[in-house]
Amino acid sequence: MGNLCSKRKGSDSISVKSDGSNKKGSSEQMENHSQSSKRPNHQNGGKNQSGGERSSGTEATPSTVAAETPEPSLQPKDSLRSRIIRDAEPSSVSGDSMSLSSPTMMNPPHGPDLPLPSKLPMEIKKQSDNMKNLLIGRIQKVKPISKSRKITLYVCAADSQDFRLEKGHLHTEVYPGLREYCSSRDYELHITDLHWKTDLETKQDHDFPELCLGELKRQQEVSHVIPVLFLSNSLGAPLLPKTMEQQDFELALSNVSDSAGKLLLEKWYKLDTHAQPQCYRLTTISEHIPRIQSTNCDERGEAIGQWQGVVDEIMTTMLRVFPTELRDTYLTTVIEQEIHNSIFMSRDVGKRSIWSSRCFTGKSPQSPDTLTPAEVEKNRRLEALRNELKNQLIGDRILKFSVKWKDGGLSNTDFEHRKYLLDVSNQLSIHLRSAIDEIIDEESNKSKWKSCYGVSGSLCAEIMEHTAFSQQAAKCCLSFENVINDIKMYIGSESAAANHPLVVHGQRGCGKTCFLSRVIHQVPTWYPEYVLVHRFVGLTPESRSLAQLLRTVTSHVAFLLTGRNYWIPHNAKCYLKELYKMVSTSTSVVVVIDGLDELSTRDASALDWLAEPLPSKIKLIISCADDTPVFQLIKSRIQQQKAFISMPNLSLLSAESMLTASILQYSHSIDSEIQKRLCSRLNHCVLPLYIKVLAWQAAIDTHSVIDISKVTTVISAINHLFDYIEKVLDPDKVTMALGCLCASRNGLCDSEFLDLLAHTSKFFSKVTFVEWAPANIFMAQIFQLLGPFLEWGVSGDAFVVRWRDSTLYDLAKQRYIGNPEVAKKVRQDLLQYFQGEWNDSKNGRFVEWASGSNIGRAVDEVPYQHWHLHGSIKTSHLCNIEWIMKKIQSSTIYNVLEDIGLEVSPDEDLILFRQTLELSSSALSYDSNQLYGQIYNRLLPYFTGSESSEWSTKCPFMKNVFESAKSPKYPCFVPLSSFLHSPKDYDSLLSPTASTTSFSDMDNGEIFFDEVYRMKSSNQFVVSLSTAKEEVIVWDVYSEATVRTLKGIHNPISLKVIDEHRCVILCGRELLTYNIDNGTFMTKLKGVMNQKMPFYGLHDENHIVAISRNRMYVNLMNLDSGDCITTFKVGEDRFLNSLIVSENGKMLVCGDETQKPFPLLVWDLPSRKLLYDLRIPHHEFVTSLSAITKEGHFVCCVCREVDDPGPNFIVVYDLQSGTLFKKWKPGYSTQAIAISAQGGCVINGLDDNRIIVWDLVTGTSQWSLEKHTAPPDILKLDNRGSRCLSCDSSGRDRSVCLWDVTIGSLLAIYIPDSPLTACEVFNNGDGVVLGGPTDTVENYYSLKNF
C-alpha cells in the first residue's frame, strides 16, 4: 500500500478486561475508551450545547472533567459566567468522539521512578529529563509536546444574516493576503466560518451548535485559534435546552399556571431514565413534526416554520416560569457558547481575539415599552456579554464602526457602505496580522524541534509522534496476562533459542496495537537497564517505508548507545548491518515495530533479514495481521514455532461489556432496546473495530436511518456507516470529499480540503454571500460523522487529516476511487490544485504554491498524483535537477528517494542517481545546498578518467548533472578531487568481509591530520601536522600536491607559522624551529615546557614567548639562538594557566589560577611591563576560552560567577585603558570564542548550538546563526574578520560551516562521510582546507562568487 496515508487501528481502542468484568463501573470504561485515538486528545474544555445536566450518563469522564468546575452562586452580577459554566453538558455525540485526535498538551502519564540505564552516553545524559525519558523509551514519564504550525481564524457571528457582508469581505479580501503572509513564515492559515444561511441554522435545533462547538474544539486541539467575533445588537436565535436536570424541570413545570403551557413542555421534554442521574431530554423534532426530514423543499420549509413557532411558545413559557438563575443556566445561543468555549476559556486566546461591532446611525431605536419579554431577556444577556468581553479583550482589538442606516440594510452598491466595508477589511487585516505575528514570534522557539548535543531534533519529533500515540493506545488495552508474560519471558531470555523476532499476530482490528503499547509501557519496569525503541508503521511519513523505518530506528539506537549519528547510506541493508553491529556488544535494546503488514509489497519482499539470528543484545517484537501476504512471508521465513503469539479472541461477555462502554462514551446514555439490538449483532463478530463502528453508528444514527440487521462483519459495518453518511450529506459530495482524502499521499490540511471543496460546484449556494460557504459547513459535518476514524498527523511542517484505521482506509479507497474513471478525475483535480492551476482569487481561495510552507506540500503531492495518472515521473520530475533541488529544499531528500522508488523499472541513469542520493542522504537532510558539491564529488570516478565516455553514454542525465555541478547555482563547497564514497563502493560497503565492519568504525579510524595551518598571507600553501605519523607537510592546495614533507619529527603537538619560510613546532615539551622551504631543522629553544600547559606565542619574527616549566613566569626567547632573553614574573606562587599574544606581538595576556578569583594578567611586550591585573569580584575567568584582537586593543574572555552554577558569560576589556568594555550574558554557556577589531565583532559558540555575533562597538547582538546540531567549539576567522569557519571537534556534528558575519548568512556548508580532524579557512575567506580520514588534505573552495 504505497499510498498508505495513516496508521490505523482505531479498532484497538477499547478498554475492558478480557473476561468481561466491569468492576470499576462504566465511568472507567468510558474514560479508557475515550482515549481511542492514535494521538492524545485535549480534554473537553468547553460545552457542546445548552442544558443544565451536570453529569450525563456517567461520572466525569476526560471529555467532561474540564467543564465540571464548581458552580458559583447565581448572582445577577455574575450571571453570564454562571450561566455559561452551567451550560456544561456534553452533546449527545461526545466532543472526544467528534473531534480529531491531536498531539496537543496533556498531563503526562504517571509511572514508577526507575533508575536510568547505567551505560548511557554523555550526550543523552545532558538532555532534559523529558527528552531522556523520550529517547530511552520511558514513555510513562514523557510529557507529550505539540509543535503546531497552524493558525485558525474562527468566525463567531449571531446568525447568517448579521454581518454577512463583513464576513464576506473577511473571506475574499482579508484572508488571502493573510494566508500568503503566514505561508511565507511557514505557517498554515485556515478559516472556519459555519454561520451561513442554511437549513441547519434555520432549524434552531442542537445539531448546529454541536457542529459549531465540535469544530471549534477540533481546531483548538491542533492549532492556534484567533476568534473573530462579529457582534452588535443581536445574539441570534435562542435555543431550547437540550437537557434539564430533573429537579429543575419539575420545579419549572409546577410553576406553569396554564394547562396548555404544561402540556407543551410535557410533550417536548421526556424523562431519560437511562441517564445517570436522570434528566429531562428534548425529544427529536421529527418525532412530532416528521415532515422536517422531507426531501421536498416546500414541505421541509413549512415544517421548519412550524417548529419555530413551537420554539417561540416554549421559550415564552420558560421565560415566564424560570427564575433568573435558571434562565442563565438553560437559555443560551450559539454565539454565547462559542465565545465561552474560546475567548472566556483562555486568557491568551482572549488577548488575541478580534471583536467587530457595528452601530447604525439614523435608525430610530425601539421603544422599551414595545419590547416583548423575549427581547428584554435578549438585551439583558447581550449587555452582560458585552461587559464580559470588554474585560477579556485588549482594547485596541475591539473595533467599533458607525455606518448610516438605509432601508434594506447594508449594500455593496452603496458608496458609503462600500467605504465602510473597506474600512472594516483594512482594520481586520491590521489587527489579525498583529495577532498572527504575536503567535509566530511567541512560538518561534517552540514550533520546531531543535537538536541538542548532536541528538537530531527531527528524530526527536518522530519519536514523540510514536510516543504520544502509544501513551493513548496503552490506555485502551485488553488485559491478556498470559500473552504479556510470554513476551516478558522472551525479552528476558538470554538463551540462543530466543535469538529470533517475536511475532504478535491476529485479525485486523483485534487489538494488537493497543496491546503492544501496553508492552511498551511495561518493558522499563521489567528491565530498567534496557533501552526501548518503538515504531508504528505508517503513523508518520517517516515510518511508511522499510528504509525510512530502519533509518529512524538505527539513528535512535546509535544515539542511545554511542551518542553519535553516523554516515549510513539510505538503504535498508546498510541500516540493518549497522544496527546489528551496534547492539552486538552494548546495552540491551528492545525494538518494537507494530504493523509490518502495512508495508508496501516491494518492502515486504525485502524482509528476508527476519530469518537471520538476532544479536544477543537485541530483542525484536513485531506485529502483523493474519490475512495478509506479509504475514505469510514472515511465516515462511521464521521457522521457530515459539516465535509466533496469536492474539486471543474476546468472549461474548467481554464484547458486550465493550459495546456498552462504547455506546456510553459516544452517547452518554443507552436505551435498552438499542442496546439489545446491537448486542444481537455480536453473535456474528466480536472484533473491537466491529464493536466500535456499531457503537458509533448508534450514536450518530439516532433515527435508525440505516438498517443494521444485515451487519455481520467489520466490512459490512463500515459500509453501513458510509451508507448513512452518504444519505445524510449527499452521495456525490461525500464521494468527492472522501475521494480526495483517499487519493492524497499523506492526507490533506484543513485549508487544502476546503480549497478543493470550494472549487467544486456541488458545494455552491446562491443564497450565501460567498458561493462556496456550504463547503465549510460540509467539511465540519463529515469530520463530525467520521470523528473516531480520522486523525491528525504530521506531514513535514503541516498537520493533515487522514484515515486512522487501515481497514476503513482500504474500504473507502475501494468505494470512492475504486472506479478508474472516478480515480482519474480526483487525481487530476489534486494535480491541478497542487500545481497552482486553479485561480479562485475572486472567492478568496486562491493558493500560491511557489513559496513558503505551501511548496513543501505541493512537491510531495504533485509527483505522486502524476505517477498515478501517467505511470512514470522520470521525464517530468526525476530528470529535472532544478525540481529535485526544490523538493530537497522544501521537503526532504528521503521523499525524493521515495519518488524515485515509484519507478517500477528504473534505467541505469535513475539507478546511479538513486545510489548517489542514498550516499548523500544524511548530508542533504542536514542542508540541501550541498546537492551539487555532493553529486560532483561522488561522480568524479564515473565522468573523469578512462571510464568517462562509457558512463556518459549510459547515463546522459547524470553526465549533465555532473557538468552543471562544476558551476553550481547555489552556494556550496566543491572539491578538487574525489574523497567521498561513490556508488562504486556500494558492494564493498555491504560486504561482510569489508575492511570496515560497520559504518561507525569509519569514525574511529587512523588520524592523519591533527592540525592544518594557513600561511601568513598566501592562500596557495598550508601546513599540516600529524602527531601519530610524526610528520609535518607543506601542501599546494590548488594542485593538492605535497610541496615538502618533514618526517621523523618527534611527537609534534602544535605549530606556529613565523613567516612564509619558517615555523616553530612544539615537539613533546620542546620548541624547535624549521625551515619549511627546504625542510631543514634550524634551532632548538632552550628549556622545556610545562607538560600539561605548553602554551607559547610569537612576539615578532625573531622572538617567542612561552610559559615556563613551573608556570610561574613567562620566557622571552630568541628564535635564532634559542636563548632565553628575559622572563616576566608577577610575584611569588603565581601559576599561569593560559597565554595568548596579539598578532602584532605587542600584547601578552595570561591567566592566573592561584589568585581567587582568577585574574587576567596583561603585559606590554615591547616594554616588558605588566600593565594590568584584571579582576571581577566573586568571578573567575575561564582563560581557556579567550581571544585577542590582531593589534592588541581588546581581549575577550569567558567568565563565570564563583558560586553560581548557571551559564557563563563574556567580558571584553579595552587594553588601552584596562577597563571593562563590554559584558554579555547570552543565557547559555560559551564553548568557543573569537574576536576581530577589523571586523568589529566578537563571535561565540553556545551550548544551545547557536553562534552569536556581537557588535564590538555598540555591544548589541547583531546575528544569531543557527545551523549546527551540537555546540560548535571551533571558530576561525579569516584575515579580514568578515568570514568565520565553525565546527564541532567532537564529531557529534560533522558539518563545517562558513559564515559571512557581516550580514549574518551561511555561505556554504560541507558534511563529510566521516568526521574531520582538522580545518582552516583561507586568509581571504573564499575557501577552506579540511583534514579528514584519508592521507590527503581535502581542499574545498567555493565556485560561487559570494
- The distance in angstroms from the start CA to the end CA of the chain is 46
Query: Up-side HSE of residue 254: CA atoms within 13 Å toward CB?
Result: 6
Structure confidence by residue, pLDDT tens digits, 970-980: 778 887 777 78
Among all chains, which residue has been given the C-alpha cell 436536570? 245
- Could you give the angle at which helices 373-392 and 297-321 cross, rounded to 10 degrees? 80
The answer for residues whose C-beta is within 8 angstroms of residue 434's C-beta and 6 or more apart is none
The DSSP element (H or E) to which 845 belongs, if any, is none
Phi, psi dihedrals of residue 1199, rounded to the nearest 5° = -135, 155
What residue has cell string 460540509? 778
- 728, three cell numbers: 445524510
Nearest Cα to Cα of residue 791 among 1113, 465, 531, 1251: 465
- Any residues with CB less than 8 A from the CB of 454 and at least 6 apart, and which? 123, 559, 563, 564, 565, 1269, 1270, 1288, 1290, 1292, 1293
Strands (DSSP E) contained in 985-1061 are 1011-1014, 1021-1026, 1031-1036, 1041-1047, 1052-1057
Residue 1258 grid cell:
555598540
Question: What DSSP string runs through 377-422?
Answer: HHHHHHHHHHHHHHHHS-GGGEEEEEEE--TTS--TT-HHHHHHHH
- Please spell the DSSP secondary structure of 862-914, one letter per residue: HHHHHHHHHS--IIIIIT-HHHHHHHHHHS-HHHHHHHHHH-SS--HHHHHHH
User: For residue 277, is the peptide bond before it cis, meaning its omega torsion is within 30 degrees of 0?
Assistant: yes
Q: What is the Cα–Cα distance from 749 to 150, expressed in whole angstroms?
A: 10
Amino acid at site 949: S
Q: Residue 223 CA to chain centroid, in angstroms? A: 12
Q: What is the dihedral of CA 1108, 1110, 1111, 1115, to 10 degrees?
A: -20
In the chain, which residues have pLDDT < 50? 1-109, 995, 1342-1346
Sheet with 1169-1174, edge to edge strand ranges: 1136-1141, 1147-1152, 1160-1164, 1169-1174
pLDDT at residue number 1056: 95
Q: What are the backbone angles phi and psi of residue 834, rounded to the nearest 5°?
A: -75, -15
Quick one: which of 1094, 1079, 1085 has its CA closest to 1032? 1079
Model confidence over 218-240: pLDDT tens digits? 999 889 999 999 999 888 888 88
- CA 848/CA 948 separation, integer angstroms: 43
β-strand pairing of 150-157 with 224-230: parallel
Picking from 291, 292, 246, the residue whose alpha carbon sits closest to that of residue 269 is: 246
Q: Which residue has the cell 455606518?
A: 403
Cβ-based neighbour number of residue 495 at 10 Å = 8
- Give the model confidence (pLDDT) of 837-895 as tens digits: 887 666 778 777 766 667 889 999 999 999 999 999 999 999 999 999 999 999 999 99
Q: In Å, how far are 2, 3, 546, 595 from 600, measured between CA atoms?
A: 5, 9, 9, 12
Paired residues of 534 in beta bridges: 592
Q: Which of 68, 28, 70 is nearest to 44 (CA)?
A: 68
Residues 6+ apart with CB under 8 A from 615: 499, 580, 583, 584
Cell 541528538 appears where? 455
Could you give the angle at the alpha carbon of 11 between the alpha carbons of 7 and 12, nearest 5°?
85
* Three-point CA angle 123, 127, 132, nearest 5°: 100
- Quote the cell numbers at residue 788: 473516531
* 1211: three-class secondary structure by DSSP: strand
Residues in Cβ contact with 495 at an 8 Å cutoff, skipping those fewer than 6 apart: none
CA pair distance 456, 1293, nearest whole angstrom: 10
Strand bridging mode 1230-1236 / 1241-1246: antiparallel
DSSP state of 1038: T
Which amino acid is located at 1290 in the chain?
A: S
The CA-CA-CA angle for residues 1292, 988, 899, to 5°, reads 70
- pTM of the shown model: 0.86
Longest dimension (CA), the chain: 123
Report the interhelical angle of 714-729 vs 688-700 (nearest 10°): 20
Give the DSSP H or E segment for 1144. Answer: none
Neighbours of 946 (CB within 10 A): 6
> How is residue 818 written as a grid cell?
475504486
Residue-level pLDDT at 1085: 94
Q: What is the CA radius of gyration of the chain?
A: 36
